[in-house]
Amino acid sequence: MNKTDEVTKELIREKLLDAATPGYAVEFDAREAEQAGAFAEDGLSEADAADSVHDENGGA
């Protein structure tokens, strides 16, 4: 990891701490937001959602 990456990680860490302050608006650029995990896709796929349906009465 180079010095720029270390500085960026520290800046993001500080912004995340600031974001936890009620009423304080913190701005992230797209790169910072992505590195902070804002765009991580962790939802169910359509197939997983369909597989999770359980009907105890056997109906649709």
What phi-psi label fits residue 36: left (phi over 0), alpha (psi between -120 and 50 degrees) or beta?
alpha
Residue 52 is predicted with a pLDDT of: 86
Residue 59 is predicted with a pLDDT of: 54
Residue 55 is predicted with a pLDDT of: 66
pTM: 0.58
Which residue stretches of 1-60 are H helix?
Answer: 3-19, 30-35, 46-51
Residue 22 is predicted with a pLDDT of: 96
pLDDT in tens, 2-58: 888 899 999 999 999 999 999 999 999 998 998 888 877 788 889 988 888 876 666
